[in-house]
Chain A
């Protein structure tokens, strides 16, 4: 089973090689991969239909409980077959569609990665593995939407889709991790067995919200729906495959998969119903408003996704069954319609329904496929779409809560679907409003196979639903509903209320088709929604992030070294002060301060230092600065002498003298000093920071020196300097023996510094030479 997933990735890596060998027709060969997967999965069909669940575990990262636990039950087989079958048709279609494109090898590579990830997603029952495949679908979708990467709109659409779905993905990850902490496992099967504990857990709400965020962003639920229409920037096969048939259904899959584990609570049901309901209606309304065929299909897809979420939210057995049936029906007709759009776009160069008409004359096969798909979409007897719609109506009628509102809502969206179906089937292909001489050609055979197959299946599944579809979908619904109920699919239920409602929908839909132009002109106050809706939020947020980023960066990284130092010192002081404060340490811990202990020469040295520092701050001459710093250095050295460290003092004298001498020597070679005056406010701030820091350091040093120090080092060095170190001067022996490594390190520092100085003095590359 691992191979089923891996084969896609392996082949993806081989695509460039295959493409080089086969040239332009490599797409057809690659189409064998999804076909093979489909055939292989089909061999499991009988076993799954009988209710068997097949699982395989492959260790991956066992220490984190992240493994490839693949599980094939009704739900995953259903999705697996859908993905591989669509994959096959789309690859064949794309092989012809992408012929004119450069980089078509990359296209197939990404598409294969996507397909493999999608298969992994639906087959994984390990949460983290599932998440990994989930993200990989977002990632491959990013690359595919941005396929026409020279166009800015493509790049932006790709980023938008990726940002929205990946952010949702991060929420999903957080949800999974919390769920994992609650249950102490990432295995879905084990989680399912203790799902009561999850539902009663205080983190249940957080888990639900986070997981649904992941699902809603992926499945384009309001208010995250806006990325999907923009994602239509991708080549049409991608739109058909990812953004209609499979990837956007990943969210639906996730909800369905988690329904037994997390479902059954009010928060779960109502969140789904509200989000799904809004999405369904919004998608339907917006679909009517648009004239770009791909946008229309995108919005009806959003609407359909809304229906699915709504039905899963309604949660009754019937509702779940209807959702799964509708999912299949929608995938078939919407996939076909997208591909038909691709054909129209390719052959006529337009996708605007206002510009297109009478196409049947030129493209009869595409036309037939369009009729069939539109019948299914409109829910006409005996197409499979009809069965889906009937079931949904019935589920709405028998919903446990709010069934009237539900019914009205699904009928409204049904009406819109009918109108759009007529628009495409009749308006584009039969109705003839010719503006000028046109002569279009039918699409090549390879681009007809897929839409015709899908459209015909919509009819065949409708006619023989009981035989072809019912067995598997029964299992699917049972997995989602976590129960054992038969599902019976017929297209004829007799003259009942639901049939009446179906007819009513068709009538209203036809009426809507005739008044649609009027509706398009009426803004319906939707302009406000467009300008202030989620798209605007996204744009606004992105702009805000960028503005804030610039502002923040120019504030913190302002280029002034003195500011950097001030901030660092202030932060250090703050941290020290807060420790002093919180531990209630004495700020001036001088227990037995005795004025008599202060020698007069100490005071003189101090005075010298203070004067020198003061002059240093006042002066604007380099020479004076260096000399004053020299004075400070000498004063420190003298203090070393007072406290019995003559060797350190001598070193200090030497360094200070050398520094001053060297500086004075090169002084005349330096350019004149440019002085950047400070504002008085800033100046004051710096003074406060400096003085505060000085006081704090003094305080810390006093505190530490108050602490009695016991060290074994002195005694050891005193004892062993001569005996073991063979030297009489302890300091020397420490430097060259006890701690010789330090000395070696410092010698290296000097060597490095010497090289650096030579390089600085001699090597001055001009900018052009910089590499």
Chain B
């Protein structure tokens, strides 16, 4: 019976998407369906997390075919935690999208695709089978591509073509990797692969296989030098779409890297470690410098995603339970904060009509409440204590110091300091600076109260997210405790294998 909880996060968005397709012409109906769907998804994920927290890893063998012959869905703390975060963001972005996405886009399937995206993410988080995981990545890729290109403006098309091609390359590498793994172990079930791989005498072959997944998921996660699709595409669609894609998808890539390098390629990490450190450091650096160079609200945020991913890879490279706990906390923190910042960029757009720093200004003076919301998320991102970003970085650095990796600590700290430059760039240009006269500022005559009243649905999700972010910083203990438990569970491979294979 409990297995049902595991599949609910798949079924709910799938059915919501199907019902949306059935009421294609009825946008209001679709909205109600998505509201119900994302709410149920939230409730379902919460119950799933509760179940995992209380009773350990939850498994469902699809069609009751025993593992490793059928497909297994697995929910452990990490996947259930990320699932809850995802569904939370899903409902927030949905609320935001009601005013943010225009009617034309809704008439061409925005709602069902949003649900398909959540369907894909849920699948990827729950998959216990590498080929099944591939399918979920396809679902994510296709739905995110359609969302990015929906509307067909020139910028969108240019960005989304790059997005599609490079991510398709990633999928091919991933698929080839599955072939390699299948060739080595004769299995697709992750638990069984984890069991079989150590028996292979030729470690070189296993490491080769690991490279396929490192690069394939590395592209998805936006690592250096594989991230090019990200800044090309993320700033082109409406903010709600950027928020959900920018906030979630790269982190799913990181999630899968964590999963693979704790469960499957555990013993390959020592070999890959120097590479991972170099990649982590360069990803941080290139991302932060990329962000500093930009002059567009959302482009800065896009590059900053890359820089943040670098930190997560740093944790993966250190590869101690503490470091992985840091990564878990970092992923959740980053999903929330980055989504929120993209949403805020949309609020600013609604208020001032641009994303270009040159055309913006005076938000602090005219809309202090928006400035307040921004400053919390923004400075959480740079790690100003005691906001959530601080704990993430603190844990990471602590883990690195405990294992004596001082160079990467230096890199992480320097990048942290540099990140102040791009965040204050937004703050200076968008919020503090006086708005330029003339173009772009025609909408600024609103006063704050009427703006907030008119845009309640834009503000509401941002406020709620901000509250969560603040809670995650000020009341960090349960979140940190969760991350530590999740990491310990990841390192307890025997238990994972036992639960799934019933051995």
Contacts and interface: CB of A to CB of B under 8 A. Distances in A.
A163 B204 contact: no
Contact of A703 (B150, B208, B286, B398): B208
A60 B477 contact: yes
A29 interface: no
Given A60-B477, A713-B187, A742-B132, A752 B116 contact: yes
A702 to B, nearest CB: 11
A579 B71 contact: no
Interface string B131-175: 110011011001101100111111100000110011001000100
A27 B79 CA distance: 50
A766 B433 contact: no
A548 B398 CA distance: 30
B142 A752 contact: yes
B368 interface: yes
A705 B368 CA distance: 64
Interface in A332-379: none
Given A572-B211, A583-B204, A707 B238 contact: no
B327 interface: no
A718 B460 CA distance: 56
Contact of A548 (B69, B142, B289): B289
Interface string A287-330: 00000000000000000000000000000000000000000000
Given A556-B225, A709-B186, A742-B135, A753 B142 contact: yes
Given A552-B286, A739-B71, A770 B204 contact: no
B436 interface: no
Interface stretch (A77-85, A224-232, A743-751): A743-751
A549 B238 contact: no
Contacts of B166: 561, 564-565, 568
Contacts of B316: none
A181 B209 CA distance: 36
Interface stretch (B83-91, B335-343, B413-421, B486-494): B413-421
B102 interface: yes
Q: Dominant SS at the A interface?
A: helix
Contacts of B143: 752
Contact of A150 (B165, B226, B232, B434): B434
Interface stretch (B26-34, B40-48, B256-264, B378-386): B378-386
B432 A556 contact: no
A518 B481 CA distance: 66
Contacts of A56: none
Given A163-B420, A746-B135, A763-B108, A63 B428 contact: no
Interface in A715-752: 716-717, 720, 737-742, 744-746, 748-749, 751-752
B186 A710 contact: yes
Contacts of A106: 368
B270 interface: no
Contacts of B105: 763, 765
Interface in B303-331: 303
B469 interface: no
Given A549-B290, A557-B232, A568-B169, A703 B205 contact: yes
B62 interface: yes
Nearest to B209: A704
B446 interface: no
Nearest to B146: A756
A548 B434 CA distance: 28
A712 B161 CA distance: 41
A232 B480 CA distance: 40
A752 B139 contact: yes
B459 interface: no
B65 A738 contact: yes
Contacts of A745: 120, 123, 132, 135-136, 138-139
Contacts of B136: 745
B59 interface: no
A14 to B, nearest CB: 14
Contacts of B25: none
Contacts of B286: 552, 556
A704 B165 contact: no
B100 interface: yes
Interface in B64-82: 65, 68-71
A717 B66 CA distance: 12
A546 to B, nearest CB: 6
Given A557-B231, A561-B161, A769-B102, A167 B290 contact: no
Nearest to A577: B211
A426 interface: no
Given A552-B286, A742-B71, A759 B434 contact: no
B229 interface: yes
A720 B136 CA distance: 27
A163 B29 CA distance: 51
Given A552-B293, A742-B131, A752-B143, A135 B69 contact: no
Nearest to A759: B108
B148 to A, nearest CB: 10
Contacts of A554: 293
Contacts of A177: 394, 397-398, 401
A556 B228 contact: yes
A771 B102 contact: yes
A401 interface: no
A26 interface: no
A571 interface: yes
Contacts of B476: 60-61
B215 A545 contact: no
B108 A173 contact: no
B245 interface: no
Contact of A174 (B101, B142, B184, B409): B409
Contact of A64 (B150, B239, B480): B480
A33 interface: no
B183 to A, nearest CB: 4
B214 to A, nearest CB: 7
A568 B219 contact: yes
B410 to A, nearest CB: 8
Nearest to A555: B286
A756 B142 contact: yes
Contact of A575 (B113, B169, B215): B215
A390 B104 CA distance: 80
A135 B416 contact: no
B464 interface: no
Contacts of A512: none
Interface string A77-110: 0000000000000000000000000110010000
A697 B179 CA distance: 12
A139 B138 contact: no
A552 B290 contact: yes
Contact of A771 (B165, B349, B379): B349
Given A745-B123, A748-B14, A771-B238, A753 B205 contact: no
B183 A755 contact: no
Nearest to A150: B434
A711 interface: yes
Interface string B101-134: 1101101110011001001100100000001100
Contacts of A62: 477
Interface in B383-442: 384-386, 390-391, 394-395, 397-398, 401-402, 409, 413, 416-418, 420-421, 424, 428, 431-434
B205 A707 contact: yes
From A561, A582, A741, A763, residue with most partner B Cβ within 10 Å? A741
B205 A704 contact: yes
B417 A167 contact: yes
B215 A571 contact: yes
B119 A748 contact: yes
Interface string B440-478: 000000000000000000000000000000000000110
6 contacts: A61-B391, A64-B395, A556-B228, A738-B71, A748-B14, A763-B107
Which 4 pairs from chain A and chain B are nearest by CB? A711-B186, A583-B204, A756-B146, A745-B135
Given A163-B417, A717-B69, 9 more contacts: A131-B385, A155-B428, A542-B421, A557-B231, A568-B228, A704-B179, A704-B205, A739-B71, A745-B139
